[in-house]
Structure 1
Amino acid sequence: MAIREQESRKRVKKDAAGLVTFFQSIAEHHSAEQVTFLCIGTDRSTGDALGPLTGSSLVEHGFPNVVGTLPSPCDADTLVNRISGIPAGQIIIAIDACLGPPAALGCYFAASEPLRPAQSVGVSLPAVGHYSLAAIVDINGPRPYRTLQTTPLHRVMVMAGEIAAAAAEGFGLK
């Protein structure tokens, strides 16, 4: 997914501290048991590893329903099948790494709407999530695959940890 400032009118730009409020607003309406975190990405690309890293951390925090972890990533090849395995009635929070403008690097875009995974690399996948969180892991440019391959792992790991910690705090699991 690529975020462009003009396309993000419904998405609210947040820093790490603002994520807690985002998750608290979801927790006001849905318990942790009613929510499935859909953490999209692969462990084969540093920039795209945000999803599986976040998913594994969410499991460590005690969230009961997480799809997309390091041992079992939810990537472009498995996304449709993994979505079909989520029980009906679950509220899906989709989380994905994305590329964006320089001013948004390291920020998050939260929304009460689905996200479209893999837009930045030109892959057509279905929009997913009742809520979504796009993490700007690097700057959008002419070679998105290369950019995701060379994104600093430290940045991705810090952002994944911030998301999981904010979710745990927002849902009262911390």
Structure 2
Amino acid sequence: MNFKDKFSREERRVSTEDPAMSDQLADYLIEWLPPSKEIVIACIGTDRSTGDSFGPLVGSMLHDQLLDTFHIYGTLEEPLHALNLKERLSDIHRSHVNPYILAVDACLGKSSSVGSVVLGKGSLNPGSALKKDLPPVGQIHISGMVNVSGFMEHVVLQNTRLHVVMQMAAKVAAAIQMTEAKRRKTSMETRPFQAFTAARPVIHKRIQ
């Protein structure tokens, strides 16, 4: 759970109220994610708090999908949270060489921003909304604005509507699935060309 109270040029915001939200977010992800790398998606949060369940919900929605270019960490069954974050990040770096990490986490912000999803460049600071000292995560991140910051954040998270979090998580998961489909299609279209251009011509010598 982190804070988002200012708009940055290095961010793109979409609203869950927009019917085209998943398509827009997928377009931004395609634009920002490196096309040739496998991406680790770190879905941060816990199922013990309604507001903080956004990340694990996204992870669970994606976990059983056939994803070729994404690796999912953090689900409702096996959450990626404050108590195990450092250890799980170490496991990720052992399992993947120089991983490119997309971090997914809930956040608190201004009342006018609740219901927005923010795609931002750079890492996010999980636990900052609750004043926890945790390592930054990700080269890029998705933050779901689930509620308002500024007063008794623990209580605010516990009293966040599950409907809001579920709707947001479903649309983000759909966007990531769309992104996967586009990345897979691009990869299949470029592989034959790369194989052809990489092949060396065979030169036959004339026998004198």
**Which of residues 98, 121, 137 in structure 1 aligns to 2:130?**
121
> Which residue of structure 2 lines up, in the alignment, with residue 2 of structure 1?
3
1:108-155 per-position Cα deviation (integer Å, ceiling 9, x unaligned): 111121111111111111111011011101111311111011100111
Whole-angstrom CA distance in 1 between matches of 2:135 and 2:147: 23
Query: Residues 53 and 160 of structure 1 are in contact (CA less than 8 Å); yes or no, is this contact kept in structure 2?
Result: yes
Alignment RMSD: 1.8
Aligned to 1:58: 62
Deviations 1:20-68 (A, max 9, x none): 112222456245xx11110000000000011111001111332351110
Alignment of 1:1-174 (within 5 A): 1-5=2-6, 8-15=8-15, 16-17=21-22, 18-27=24-33, 29-31=35-37, 34-63=38-67, 65-86=71-92, 87-172=96-181
Task: Check 1:148–1:67 CA distance in 2 against 1; reply closer, same or farther (3 A cut).
Answer: same
Structure 1: tracts of 5 or more residues without a match: none
The aligned length equals: 171
TM-score, L = length of structure 1 = 0.91
Contact persistence 1:43–1:73 (CA under 8 A):
yes
State how far apart, in whole Å, the 2-side matches of 1:71 and 1:26 are.
29
SS in 1 for 2:40: strand
Q: TM-score, normalised by structure 2?
A: 0.77
Q: Distance in 2 between matches of 1:80 and 1:51?
A: 17
Higher RCO structure, 1 or 2 (CA under 8 Å, sep 6+): 1
**Structure with max Cα Rg:** 2
- Would you say the 8 A contact 2:12–2:28 is kept in 1? no
The alpha carbon displacement at 1:10 in A equals 2.7
What are the ranges of 5 or more consecutive residues in structure 2 without an aligned counterpart? 16-20, 185-208
Letter in 1 for 2:29: F
Matched residue of 1:156: which SS?
helix
Using the alignment, how far apart are the partners of 1:149 and 1:169 within structure 2?
A: 31
Query: % of aligned pairs identical?
Result: 33
Amino acid at match of 1:57: M
* Secondary structure, counterpart of 1:93 in structure 2: strand
Distance 1:12 1:110 in 2: 5
